[in-house]
């Protein structure tokens, strides 16, 4: 929840929508019936939720979660957001 709140800091998203997103993720994880959930699974769920909720928060979270090191990493992610997933010509 804290990471989600940090990603959404100063974004125009109602607290109720954030709570619904987090509650939905918790229910989804609980429905799997697993005692242990790895961080990768949680990270992917958060990314999916933020992508729907707020593009800026999605990019913020992704930059930390995917450990972006250079501008190209942001460019690739922004290309995915805009639907332009065509490979670059090198």
Rounded distance between C-alpha atoms, residue 39 and residue 1, angstroms: 13
Tell me whether residue 46 is in a domain.
yes
Q: What tokens appear for 83 in the block?
A: 């639907």
- H or E segment and range at residue 39: helix 39-53
The pLDDT assigned to 20 comes to 94
Q: What tokens appear for 47 in the block?
A: 């990314």
Q: 77 lies in which domain range?
A: 2-81
The pLDDT averaged over each successive group of 10 residues in the chain (90 residues) is 91 94 93 88 90 89 78 77 53
Q: Is the pTM of this model over 0.85?
A: no
Tell me whether residue 12 is in a domain.
yes
Tell me whether residue 58 is in a domain.
yes
Tell me whether residue 88 is in a domain.
no
Total domains in the fold of the chain: 1
Tell me whether residue 59 is in a domain.
yes
Rounded distance between C-alpha atoms, residue 67 and residue 83, angstroms: 22
Tell me whether residue 49 is in a domain.
yes
Tell me whether residue 90 is in a domain.
no
């Amino acid at each position: 929840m804290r990471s989600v709140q940090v990603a959404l800091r100063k974004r125009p998203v109602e607290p109720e929508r954030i709570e619904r997103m987090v509650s939905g993720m918790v229910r989804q994880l609980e429905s799997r019936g697993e005692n242990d959930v790895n961080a990768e699974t949680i990270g992917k769920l958060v990314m999916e939720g933020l992508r729907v909720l707020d593009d800026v928060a999605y990019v913020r979270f992704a930059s930390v979660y995917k450990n972006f090191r250079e501008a190209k990493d942001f460019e690739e992610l922004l290309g995915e957001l805009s639907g332009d997933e065509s490979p670059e010509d090198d």
